Chains A and B, each alone.
Chain A
């Protein structure tokens, strides 16, 4: 087969072309349109990527917060930790609390069973409604815990406990197990409603009282650990009560 003749056949077959249906202006406009479309696609893709990245950042930043809120909303098993973390007091795992300063993990720092308060939300700032319970301050009051932590050398991450006293109805309280030099003891702070009796406490506990706003009274109580005759922070209790009372 002659390739030359074959080439002639092909060329002949494509002869007699009709007038072209496009010109250079059409090519330019189609090119501009395609370029604009491409830019739009790139812009949309970039915007989508930015939205996805921002969404991811928001999702990751919101997740721990919502988890904390869920816990603070009232877990019956661990009611003390969220109270502290919500107020920004640093929290460590129990085994990170320095035993040399606190004398080991005290059994008194474990909060009482929260369900005795009728399942009230631990995140509530208004604790006056607790008055129906017989002991009054069986839960940790976050405001008092933070105020006490500000005034005393509370170890970083130390978990507050309910006040180690028997409170009158409507009271609020919190306590820390602290070390004062070589002495270890529990320092509690209790805010009692107007006209109520002061909290009752065990023998050996030292108490100081100061007047808070609205006729309420603020009590600071220091109880030494069993077997220790020395009350921790004994000399500082009056001034401590006065300073704390100005806050409430």
Chain B
């Protein structure tokens, strides 16, 4: 890449790095691995920077690379995720801060118990704020699949968290 391309990439990287890291964190539940996945996505973008003509599609490209990297990794035998029956203990303590930390950790732990593809749908829909069509493009599937995966993912998340988070209780 020439100097101008490198400059544009550096600007995009600086603007999007934290957002991509957060998405990666909710997809895998671990900040170290999240950094690895985010870097993988940015490396893929850097290698194809000159070929991506529509700079408005950069986010979609990075998102797609990230989700694929996480799902592919979860399929490898030595990385295959194992579900456990017990949710990790919430930190003890009183007050609003303690509740907030407990809620965050409970959500991350609950997400780790959701199957990878359903988890990706939930993260794209609720963290990234994508609509059904954009999520379907990022995952390379149909919109109907995104809807069904969203429904199943929420059910799995509720089942994993129980009554830990009130906002996840189904409206009755």
The 8 A CB mask of B1-45 against A (1 = contact, 0 = none) is 000001001100110011001110110000110010011001100
Complex: how many Å from CA A20 to CA B35? 7
Q: How many A-B residue pairs have CB under 8 A?
A: 82
Q: What distance in Å separates the Cβ of B30 from its nearest Cβ neighbour in chain A?
A: 11
Interface residues on B, range: 35 or more
B97 → chain A closest CB, angstroms:
11
Chain A interface size, under 10 / 10 to 19 / 20 to 34 / 35 or more: 20 to 34
Contact A10 B103 (CB under 8 A): no
Kindly supply a per-residue 1/0 record for chain A positions 42-77, scoring 1 wherever the CB is within 8 Å of any chain B CB and 0 otherwise. Answer: 000000000000000000000000000000000000
Q: Is the CB of B129 within 8 A of A9?
A: no
Is B154 a contact partner of A1 (Cβ separation < 8 A)?
Answer: yes
A27–B46 contact, CB under 8 A?
yes
Partner of B127, one of A2, A11, A28: A11
B78: Cβ under 8 A from any A Cβ: no
3 interchain residue pairs of minimum CB distance? A14-B22, A31-B46, A10-B127
- Can you give 9 A-B contacts (C-beta < 8 A)? A6-B167, A9-B168, A10-B122, A12-B103, A13-B107, A17-B18, A22-B38, A27-B46, A28-B46
Apart from A2-B167, A17-B31, 13 more pairs, CB < 8 Å = A1-B167, A6-B126, A9-B103, A9-B126, A10-B26, A11-B22, A12-B103, A13-B103, A14-B23, A15-B104, A22-B38, A22-B39, A27-B43
